[in-house]
Each structure stands twice: as C-alpha cells, then as structure tokens.
C-alpha cells in the first residue's frame, strides 16, 4: 500500500525536522484546543433540548396586558395569566398541552439522620411528561383526571428517590412537601434538558426539578412559587389568584403538523377576540406560537460572550493554520531536491502531492490529539467559572469526533497549498542544481 | 530505442528567448552506448532532460521505445519514465533520509511491485555494484564512488531498457570514475541502452558513438581514439553477476 509508504516517509521527515514539526504540531494543538473548548461550550448551550420533537412543540403567548403603555405590534406578555392558562388547558384544542410554573418547598425526609431540605418543584399538568419525553424509571405520570381532581400526587426525580428511600422504589410511598403528604406515582430516570427550555424564568441552564405535582394541587395547598411575574393592574387580588392581572405561567402545546399549528394559532386569535369582547383583554389580538428552538433564539439563551469567544477562537485557529501553512511551505520546499529525485524516478505530481498531504494530515492528527488534551484542560477551567452552565462543560463523543475531523480537515487544508507547490517543483532544475 | 525529430526547446522570459535546442534529430538504437559531448551551455543537459521526460519540448517529435510521448499526461509520462528510464546524476542525488536499501527501493515503490519482489531486486542491484554489505548504510556514510554505485543500483533495479547519465563521473576521482564507467559498460554489454552526457574524453572515446552539441545543434561524430591509461578493467567481483 502506497499510503503506508507515505506514512513511513512522514515519520522519517518528522524525525529529521524535529523542531519544525514540533512547532507545527503545537500551532495546530493550540488552535484546536482553544476552538474546541469554546465550540463545546457553544454546542452544549445551543443544542436542541428536545431532539426529534422540538419542531412540534410550541410556546404560547397571549397579549393580556392593560391599555397603559400599549404600542401596536409589540411583543405580547412572555407568560400567561392563570385564568388564560387554565382556560387553554381546559379547552384542549391541542393534542397535548401543559401549563407550568416553578416553585420550591421544604421536604421532610422522614428518615433518621437526614435533615429536612429545600427542593425545586414544578407545578404542571399531566401532559408535561409525554410532551417532553420525560423518561420514567418507575411508575408513570399522573392523569388529566387527577389534575382536575386536584389529586395529592407527585412524580419525583431519581436523585430524590435515592435520597429519600435509600435506593429503594419510591412508587406507592409518599413524600412530605411543606407539610403536605403527596403520593408518589412515578420516579424519573436522570433527566436534565439543556437548556432548561420549558421555563427560562428560573435559570437557563439549571438542574431539573426534584418534585413535579399537579398545578391545581399546588394552588390548593398554596405552595410557594418562583420565577418572574408581570402584573399590569392593581386588582386587589393576590398575584397568583385566578383572576389576577398577572402573567406568571408558561404554557406549552404539542402540534403535529403545520396545519395543526396554523389552526391552533387561529384558535388563540379567536380566544383573544372573545376575551376582548368580554372586556378582559384591553388590546387587540396579539399572539405568538414559537417552536422550542425559536423560543430559545428569541430569548437569546446562549450568552452572547460565548458566541463571541467561539468566533475569536476560530479566528485564532485560522491564524494558527496560516502559520502552519508557512511552516509546511518552508519544510516542503526545503526538500525540493528530494522531490526532484522522486519525480525523476517515476513519481507523478499526484504521488508527490499525496505524499506531502499525508505528512500534513499526520501533523494535524498529532496536533488534534494534543489539542484534545488542551480542550480538556480548557473545559476544566470553564467548569471552575461561576456560571450556571459550568457543570455542563464536558467533551462528549460528538465533540470528540468533531475535534478530530476539524483537526484533520484543517491540517489538510493547511497542507493543500504547500503540497501543491511541492508537486509543481520542476525536477530538472533540482537535479542539476545539487 | 529513442527517436527525436526536429526537437526544439526555447526558454522564454519576459526579456529574452533562449534556444537551448534547435530542430535536433537524434536516434539511439537499442543496445547502444552513446556519449553526448559539447561545451557548457550547449544544451546537453536539456537534451537529457527531454529524453528523460523531465522537461517538455517546444516543438518536434519524440518516440521512446515506440511510444510517442507528445501529449502524454503527467501520470503517463511518470509511468513511462519509471518503466523505461534509469537516471544517474553527477551529484548522485541519493535521498539522505533513506539508507541504500530504501533509496534503491524508491523507483520500485512507484512501480507498485510486491514487497518480496522489490526486496529481491534491491538486493540483486546492490550486489551488482558491490554494495550488498552496505544496504543499511546511509548516503553520508559512503564515499563518492560508493554513492554513485548506489545511484547506479537505484537506476538499474527496475531493469529499465534505457540509462541516462548526466556527467556520472564528474564528481569522482579518476579511480572511482573508472569503476563507474566500467559498471556502465557492463550494463550496456548486458543489453541496456546507455546515453551519457560527459565532458570526459575517456568516456567519449569508449562510447560506440558520439553526438556533439553546439548551440543546441547536434552533430554525429566517430569516437576519437584516446589513450586510456591503466585500462585493465578492475571490476568488482560481485558485479560479474
């Protein structure tokens, strides 16, 4: 195999020009290490948290705001009022829909040696689990009937089950939240969608909640809620009351086709018109129905400095590659005499081109391995930063493969010009000039 | 073996045109030992480069072993060069990174021969020039004469019918030069066609035919009788094979 011959020639060339080769490898490794660190962070932060379904899952917005400060065409409220969210849930115009908000409460472990602790809670409705493909280890979600019945049920995370029941099965047992007993109907597998797309008002990249229970139950029990709330009127009600003029609830629907999405949008418009006629909405219908990725884009979830860092890192990689092009050119053209001899002995231009491209590819691969080590160090440094996405900064198999592809492609690109120049060397001149 | 008709070579720069060869006709029969002589800058090396398919010519017809080389692709020219021609250079041009075995291996690699056959051919070629015991040596560890013998082994390992030598003894002392010349004569006696560009009157005298080039124009000459001192041929015993 000619390829293995070229590999052997590359090895000999590296041994002969150690310093030059080391310089090239370090240049590529630095470029790869830096760009892979930032690219990994960007990839983790901008990934699809609901692969395969994100295009069919939509976030609902209605403009329920007051007359004051109204400007036509402006963005409607980012969340729904309780009245609207519960109304849309009851209407069931989508195949699946769920309302939700975050909260927290004290959990009494009922176990000797484990102190009570605070946990993040999600108040939602039955479709939350199938709509977001939430994986269950044991049991399952509660039902829509249990939502309507304000049932004292809960689904808990695997981590909480292990903490409360010492690794035992929690289904059929109960958890005490803020002094209220809730029957556990399901235990989740480890689940941490990144970003925390379904509620961006309680942190973009936080952990998932430890307890999920029906929204209706949470209101009965007056459990504490968390996240943003936007009120536009003084109605003398508590902000979480059904008729309070406050938006604090997220509402998601699953719609299977563009036609269904269009129909649902029409429904939201007619709902708004009806609310306007009834005197509840002061503004003309103004609705939004954004898919998961559109919603994340709109909310600018990926920090802008992360994007900037990625651009800068790739610019740095380009500089490193330009350096490598220069070094490869110098290295290859220093071997003009050898190239002349090889051409005289039967090497075609293509053979010379391939030989030198293989050598450049080897530099890239070695640089890539070294760069991978640097990326690993870089991500370690990111994990030490005080940002909510820090724990996520790890290389996964996709990024590992990407690193090698980028290293190889970059070094082959860097090797193209030098290898082409090497292949164009006129053998006759070299043979006589020795 | 080699037939050139009306070969011209013009080097063009922005300022001047230089005619290196002017409508040159040259035929070399199979088995011939031809010396190409002429003053420096007369076009000898250009002729050799064109004959060796290392350079294009500006006009004319060239057939190498029955193959018309006009319009051949680089791949085809390289293949033809690899199969038909062995080169021997004044500066030996061994690759310093490779030992003798690997240097001789270079043309065989480009021919794509299987490993066992390459090994057999390399060992035989190095034996023929008396360097069988130095296969693992690098060029820098050898004398000039040994390097040129290694270069000859590299040229003949693929058993090409045509050997082109450009001043093969130019960098050697007289004893080493004589050894190299005798090897070339021996190869010629075994059937190889040998074309030698040379300033050396001894080589010219021992060639079957001389072609003299002046200003890119070739003239056939009979070899001039030259007194060869100490002309007993002292071939390496290995070379007899």
- pLDDT value for A202: 78
Give the three-state DSSP class for A279.
Answer: coil
- pLDDT value for B4: 93
Residue A275 lies in a domain: yes
Closest Cβ–Cβ partner in A5, A12, A432 for B45: A432
Using the 3D structure, point to which of A286, A312, A343 is the last residue of a domain.
A286
Residue A263 lies in a domain: yes
- pLDDT value for A432: 63
User: Do residues A131 and A190 share a domain?
Assistant: yes
- pLDDT value for A379: 92
Sign for the CA dihedral angle at A362, A367, A368, A372 comes to: positive
Sign for the CA dihedral angle at A291, A294, A299, A305 comes to: positive
Return d(Cα B141, Cα B143) in angstroms, integer: 7
Q: What is the mean pLDDT of residues A122-127?
A: 97
User: Do residues A180 and A270 share a domain?
Assistant: yes
Q: Is the pLDDT of residue A195 over 50?
A: yes
Using the 3D structure, point to which of A286, A321, A346 is the last residue of a domain.
A286
Give the three-state DSSP class for B62.
Answer: strand
Phi, psi of A56 (to 5 degrees): -105, 5
Percent of chain A whose predicted confidence (pLDDT) is above 90: 63
Q: CB-based contacts of A254: which residues, under 8 Å, 6+ apart?
A: A53, A56, A57, A58, A94, A95, A96, A97, A127, A131
Mean pLDDT check: name the lowest of A141-145, A231-235, B2-6, B16-20. A231-235
Place of tokens 């003239």: B219
* Residue B162 backbone zone (phi > 0: left; psi -120 to 50: alpha; other: beta): beta
User: Do residues A255 and A189 share a domain?
Assistant: yes
Return d(Cα A138, Cα A188) in angstroms, integer: 7
- pLDDT value for B228: 44
Between A21 and A69, whose confidence is greater? Answer: A21
Give the three-state DSSP class for B219.
Answer: strand
Q: Which residues pair with B37 in a beta bridge?
A: B212
Q: What is the mean pLDDT of residues A330-356?
A: 93
Phi, psi of A431 (to 5 degrees): -70, -35
Angle between helices A349-383 and A397-423 (to 10 degrees): 150
Closest Cβ–Cβ partner in A344, A348, A349 for B52: A344
User: Do residues A45 and A67 share a domain?
Assistant: no
A352 touches chain B (CB under 8 A): no
State the DSSP code for A17. Answer: T
Return d(Cα A310, Cα A34) in angstroms, integer: 9
**A350 contacts in B (CB within 8 Å)?**
74-75
User: Do residues A69 and A185 share a domain?
Assistant: yes
Return d(Cα A239, Cα A248) in angstroms, integer: 9
How many CA atoms within 13 Å lie on the side-chain side of A197? 27
User: Do residues A407 and A264 share a domain?
Assistant: no
Residue A296 lies in a domain: no
Each residue's pLDDT expressed in tens, for chain B with a length of 241 residues: 899 999 999 988 888 888 889 999 999 999 999 999 999 888 888 999 999 999 999 999 999 999 999 889 999 999 999 999 999 998 899 999 899 999 999 999 999 999 999 999 999 999 999 999 999 999 999 999 999 999 999 999 999 999 999 999 888 888 888 888 999 999 999 999 999 999 888 889 999 999 999 988 888 766 555 444 434 334 344 443 3
- pLDDT value for B17: 87
Return d(Cα B72, Cα B74) in angstroms, integer: 7
Residue A364 lies in a domain: yes
User: Do residues A134 and A281 share a domain?
Assistant: yes
User: Do residues A165 and A261 share a domain?
Assistant: yes
Place of tokens 């061994």: B94
Sign for the CA dihedral angle at A62, A65, A68, A69 comes to: negative
Contacts within 8 Å (CB) and 24+ apart, B44-49: B44/B197, B44/B213, B45/A428, B45/A432, B45/B166, B45/B197, B46/B9, B46/B20, B46/B21, B46/B216, B47/B7, B47/B21, B47/B197, B47/B213, B47/B218, B48/B164, B48/B166, B48/B195, B48/B197, B49/A428
User: Do residues A267 and A314 share a domain?
Assistant: no
Residue A79 lies in a domain: yes
Instruction: Kindly state the tokens that stand for A87.
Output: 């109304």
User: Do residues A99 and A186 share a domain?
Assistant: yes
- pLDDT value for B237: 43
Q: What is the mean pLDDT of residues A223-243?
A: 86
Confidence of residue A389 (pLDDT cuts 50, 70, 90): confident
- pLDDT value for A62: 95
pLDDT digits (tens, 9 = 90+) for A265-276: 999 999 999 999
Instruction: Give the number of other CB atoms < 10 A from CB of residue A425.
Output: 21
Using the 3D structure, point to which of A286, A319, A352 is the last residue of a domain.
A286
- What CA–CA distances, in Å, run from A357 to A243, A303, A345, A411? 71, 39, 20, 9
Closest Cβ–Cβ partner in B75, B83, B97 for A348: B75
Q: What is the mean pLDDT of residues A221-238?
A: 86
User: Do residues A30 and A145 share a domain?
Assistant: no
CB contact under 8 A, B110 and A13: no
- pLDDT value for A348: 94
Residue A57 lies in a domain: no
Residue A331 lies in a domain: yes
For strand B17-28 and strand B33-37, is the pairing parallel, antiparallel, or unpaired?
Answer: unpaired
CB contact under 8 A, B81 and A344: yes
How many CA atoms within 13 Å lie on the side-chain side of A8? 10
Task: Report the candidate in A143, A120, A121, A147 with the shortest Cα–Cα distance to residue A130.
Answer: A143
Return d(Cα A83, Cα A80) in angstroms, integer: 8
Instruction: Give the number of other CB atoms < 10 A from CB of residue A387.
Output: 16
Instruction: Kindly state the tokens that stand for A109.
Output: 């472990």
Return d(Cα B132, Cα A202) in angstroms, integer: 80
Torsion of CA A407, A408, A414, A417, to 10 degrees: -170
Return d(Cα A360, Cα A413) in angstroms, integer: 9
Residue A298 lies in a domain: no
- pLDDT value for B225: 53
CB contact under 8 A, B87 and A340: no
- pLDDT value for B233: 39
User: Do residues A339 and A250 share a domain?
Assistant: no
For strand A211-214 and strand A117-124, is the pairing parallel, antiparallel, or unpaired?
Answer: parallel
Q: CB-based contacts of A306: which residues, under 8 Å, 6+ apart?
A: A38, A41, A42, A45
Q: CB-based contacts of A103: which residues, under 8 Å, 6+ apart?
A: A120, A121, A122, A123, A218, A223, A224, A225, A226
What's the residue count for chain A?
434
**A13 contacts in B (CB within 8 Å)?**
97
Mean pLDDT of chain A: 90
A341 touches chain B (CB under 8 A): yes
What's the residue count for chain B?
241
Domain total of chain A: 2
Instruction: Quote the domain boundaries for residue A11.
Output: 2-49+303-433
- What CA–CA distances, in Å, run from A32 to A184, A209, A309, A384? 48, 36, 14, 21
CB contact under 8 A, A427 and B54: yes
CB contact under 8 A, A343 and B75: no
Q: Is the pLDDT of residue A237 over 80?
A: no
This complex has an ipTM of 0.88
Domains delineated in chain B: 2-240 (3.40.50.300)
- pLDDT value for A236: 72
Return d(Cα A189, Cα B26) in angstroms, integer: 86
Nearest-by-CA chain A residue for B83: A346
Q: Which residues of B touch A (CB under 8 A)?
A: 45, 49, 52, 54-55, 74-75, 77-79, 81-83, 87, 89, 91, 93-95, 97-98, 106-107, 109-112, 154, 158, 166
pLDDT digits (tens, 9 = 90+) for A64-83: 888 877 888 889 999 999 99
* Burial environment of residue B234 by CB neighbours within 10 A (0 to 12, 13 to 18, 19 or more): exposed
Q: CB-based contacts of A69: which residues, under 8 Å, 6+ apart?
A: none
Instruction: Kindly state the tokens that stand for A244.
Output: 């309070």
A342 touches chain B (CB under 8 A): yes
- pLDDT value for A305: 82
Distance from CA of A362 to the nearest CA of B (A): 18
Q: What is the mean pLDDT of residues A202-231?
A: 90
- pLDDT value for A255: 97
């Amino acid at each position: 195999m000619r390829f293995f011959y070229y590999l052997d020639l590359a090895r000999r060339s590296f041994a002969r020009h150690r310093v030059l080769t080391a310089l090239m490898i370090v240049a590529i490794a630095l470029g790869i290490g830096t760009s892979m660190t930032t690219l990994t962070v960007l990839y983790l932060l901008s990934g699809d948290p609901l692969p395969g379904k994100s295009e069919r899952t939509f976030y609902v917005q209605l403009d329920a705001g007051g007359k004051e400060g109204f400007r036509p065409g402006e963005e409607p409220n980012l969340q729904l009022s309780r009245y609207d969210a519960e109304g849309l849930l009851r209407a069931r115009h989508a195949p699946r829909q769920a309302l939700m908000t975050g909260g927290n409460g004290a959990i009494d472990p009922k176990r000797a040696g484990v102190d009570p602790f605070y946990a993040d809670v999600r108040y939602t409705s039955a479709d939350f689990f199938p709509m977001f493909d939430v994986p269950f280890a044991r049991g399952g979600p509660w039902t829509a009937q249990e939502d309507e019945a304000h049932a004292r049920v809960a689904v808990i995370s695997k981590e909480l089950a292990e903490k409360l029941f010492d690794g035992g099965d929690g289904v059929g047992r109960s958890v005490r939240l803020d002094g209220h007993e809730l029957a556990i109907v399901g235990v989740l597998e480890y689940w941490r969608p990144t970003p925390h797309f379904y509620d961006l008002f309680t942190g973009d990249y936080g952990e998932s909640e430890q307890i999920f229970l029906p929204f209706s139950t949470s209101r009965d029990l007056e459990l504490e809620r968390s996240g943003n709330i936007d009120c536009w009127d003084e109605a003398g009600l508590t902000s979480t009351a059904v008729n309070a003029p406050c938006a604090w609830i997220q509402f998601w629907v699953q719609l299977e086709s563009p036609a269904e999405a269009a129909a649902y949008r029409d429904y939201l418009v007619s709902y708004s018109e009806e609310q306007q006629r009834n005197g509840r909405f002061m503004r003309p219908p103004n609705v939004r129905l954004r898919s998961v990725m559109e919603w994340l884009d709109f909310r600018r979830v990926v920090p802008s400095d992360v994007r900037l860092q990625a651009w800068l890192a790739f610019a740095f990689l380009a500089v490193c590659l330009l350096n490598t092009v220069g070094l490869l050119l110098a290295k290859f053209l220093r071997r003009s005499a050898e190239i002349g001899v090889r051409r005289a002995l039967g090497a075609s231009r293509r053979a010379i081109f391939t030989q030198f491209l293989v050598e450049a590819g080897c530099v890239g691969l070695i640089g890539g391995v070294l760069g991978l080590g640097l990326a690993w160090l870089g991500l370690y440094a990111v994990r030490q930063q005080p940002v909510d996405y820090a724990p996520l900064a790890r290389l996964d198999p996709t990024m590992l493969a990407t690193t090698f592809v980028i290293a190889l492609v970059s070094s082959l690109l860097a090797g193209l010009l030098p290898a082409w120049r090497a292949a164009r060397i006129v053998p006759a001149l070299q043979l006589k000039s020795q | 073996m080699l037939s050139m008709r009306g070969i011209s070579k013009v080097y063009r720069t922005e300022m001047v045109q230089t005619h290196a060869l002017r409508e040159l006709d040259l035929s070399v029969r199979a088995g011939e030992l031809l010396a190409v002589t002429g003053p420096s800058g007369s076009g000898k090396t250009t002729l050799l480069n064109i004959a060796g398919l290392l350079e294009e010519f500006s006009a004319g017809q060239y057939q190498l072993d029955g193959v018309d080389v006009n319009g051949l692709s680089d791949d085809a020219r390289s293949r033809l060069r690899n199969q038909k021609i062995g080169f021997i250079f004044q500066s030996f041009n061994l690759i310093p990174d490779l030992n003798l075995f690997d240097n001789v291996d270079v043309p065989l690699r480009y021919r794509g021969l299987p490993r066992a056959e390459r090994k057999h051919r390399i060992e035989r070629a190095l034996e023929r020039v008396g360097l069988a015991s130095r296969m693992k040596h690098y060029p820098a560890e050898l004398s000039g004469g040994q390097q040129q013998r290694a270069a000859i082994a590299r040229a003949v390992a693929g058993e090409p019918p045509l050997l082109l030598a450009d001043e093969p003894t130019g960098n050697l002392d007289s004893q080493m030069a004589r050894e190299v010349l005798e090897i070339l004569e021996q190869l010629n006696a075994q059937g190889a066609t040998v074309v030698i560009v040379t300033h050396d009157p001894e080589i010219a005298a021992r060639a079957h035919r001389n072609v003299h080039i002046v200003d890119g124009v070739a003239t056939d000459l009979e070899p001039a009788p030259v007194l060869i001192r100490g002309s007993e041929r002292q071939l390496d015993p290995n070379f007899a094979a």
